[in-house]
Amino acid sequence: MERNYTAHNPGTNWVVVHDDGEFEKANAVKLIVVKLTLESVSFGGGNFPVFSDDDGNEYPKTQWTPTANYPVCYKRGTKMEVTPKFDVIPPTFTGPVKIKGKSNGPQLPEASTLPKPIMTSIDEFKNTVDDIKPLGIRWTYTVDQKHWHFLGKSENHVYVTLDTPLCSKLFHTVVDVACRNAKGKSEEIDVFNKIWEEFHGRSVHPWQDGSKAMKYWGPDAVAAKDTADKYDTTAKLVKHKDGQCGAWASFMGDVLAAHAINTHQDKITLSKTYPPDCVIPAGFTVYNRLPGQGGMPLETNFTDHQIVKYDGKFYDPSYGEHYNTSLEWEDHSLWRLIYGTKGNYITILDPKKVQDTADSYYVYP
């Protein structure tokens, strides 16, 4: 808003004070009233895109508005870049002005560019995995370098990974499980062990506060098993909160890949050497006494089972157990083999032979 003022009495002057503290007398002045409103906040400078569990799409690159906020992800030891956007009245006003954003994370410098100053943090994120919930920034401005006026506060959930993520899509629940469990850790083995604790507890929760644990072979996965939409990928697991062994193995691999930790997803299946008179291997049965993720699984008969191998050990995320060898997995998990014959099936109880190949583990009768 602009207003012109003129001194009506002869010899009466206004005192005009300049930014540098100097002043002069004038019989007319122009007063500009400036109004700034915080419209949005965007993060850049090396952050990693995060994808929605619900539809698999990348979250908006404007990560904060007064009505919405989205997660942000950086690598440890890096600086964050923040761009606030202001609605400026009058639009022609460009300064002088100072913008300040006080953060509970890396600190931001003052800025003087309107309407979208780009602010690169003075310091870096800590050199550890972090889960900042939320990273708040309190925005203020001044036009006289003395009086600071409150503009608003933006809040975003910021995840900090051990290294550059390797997974093709960094789903929200993937990065949440990856960072909330390993917060404060800086060594790969410590990050792995803390993440595995949640899998071992068989109560892996999605990112939403108060959410129920995701399931292994719960009712939704059972209902979808014979459809084209069977729940066998990370995307299906984080969307439906229920999945098969392939979904859980893929999910665990992606959670670790969020920190650039390499694992191998392996498959346990029946040997192609059939017993006499058998036409085709039908599958195998795991013990029905074994609890899985989110409770007791509703399926125990499988044609194969997928696990994760890390540092020479076998991790079964579906059941939350780990083993030194594939034979240990078989002793603990496998009840029987089922082979098809002419119009019938035969079962072999207590199988004890496993042959390991590069990426499969064949169970023999």
CATH number at residue 57: 2.60.40
The verdict on 103 and 190 lying in the same domain is no
Q: How many CB atoms lie within 10 A of CB 10?
A: 6
The verdict on 117 and 133 lying in the same domain is yes
By the 8 A CB rule, do 151 and 38 touch? yes
| Rounded-to-10 torsion of CA 155, 156, 161, 164 | -130
The verdict on 176 and 299 lying in the same domain is yes
Q: Output the 3-class SS for 157-221.
A: EEEEECCCCCCCCCEHHHHHHHHHHHCCCCCHHHHHHHHHHHHHCCCCCCCCCCCCCCEECCHHH
Distance in angstroms between the alpha carbons of the first and the last residue of the chain: 86
- Is the residue at 325 inside a domain? yes
Instruction: Among 134, 161, 188, identify where a domain stops.
Output: 161
d(CA 32, CA 35): 10
- Is the residue at 6 inside a domain? yes
Q: Which residue matches tokens 């999910």?
A: 251
- Is the residue at 167 inside a domain? no
The number of domains in the chain is: 3
What digits encode the pLDDT tens for the residues 49-102? 999 999 999 999 999 999 999 999 999 999 999 999 999 988 888 878 999 999
- Is the residue at 239 inside a domain? yes
What digits encode the pLDDT tens for the residues 223-254? 999 888 899 999 999 999 999 999 999 999 99
Q: Which residue matches tokens 């007063």?
A: 31
The verdict on 200 and 101 lying in the same domain is no
The verdict on 142 and 207 lying in the same domain is no
The verdict on 217 and 147 lying in the same domain is no
- Is the residue at 166 inside a domain? no
The verdict on 114 and 178 lying in the same domain is no
Query: What does pTM read for this prediction?
Result: 0.86
d(CA 364, CA 274): 8
DSSP classification of residue 275: P
What digits encode the pLDDT tens for the residues 249-302? 999 999 999 999 999 998 887 665 666 666 555 678 899 999 999 999 999 989
By the 8 A CB rule, do 302 and 286 touch? yes
Q: Which residues pair with 15 in a beta bridge?
A: 25
The verdict on 186 and 142 lying in the same domain is no
Please calculate the CA angle 33-38-43 and round it to the nearest 5 degrees.
140
Instruction: Among 127, 161, 195, identify where a domain stops.
Output: 161
The verdict on 137 and 281 lying in the same domain is no
The verdict on 43 and 152 lying in the same domain is yes
- Is the residue at 341 inside a domain? yes
Residue range(s) defining the domain that contains residue 357: 172-364
The verdict on 10 and 43 lying in the same domain is no
- Is the residue at 232 inside a domain? yes
List Cα–Cα distances, 142 to 96, 100, 139, 177, 296, in angstroms.
Answer: 9, 9, 11, 41, 60
- Is the residue at 357 inside a domain? yes
The verdict on 225 and 155 lying in the same domain is no
Instruction: Among 140, 161, 182, identify where a domain stops.
Output: 161
pLDDT for 360 equals 43
Alpha carbon 82 to chain centroid distance? 19
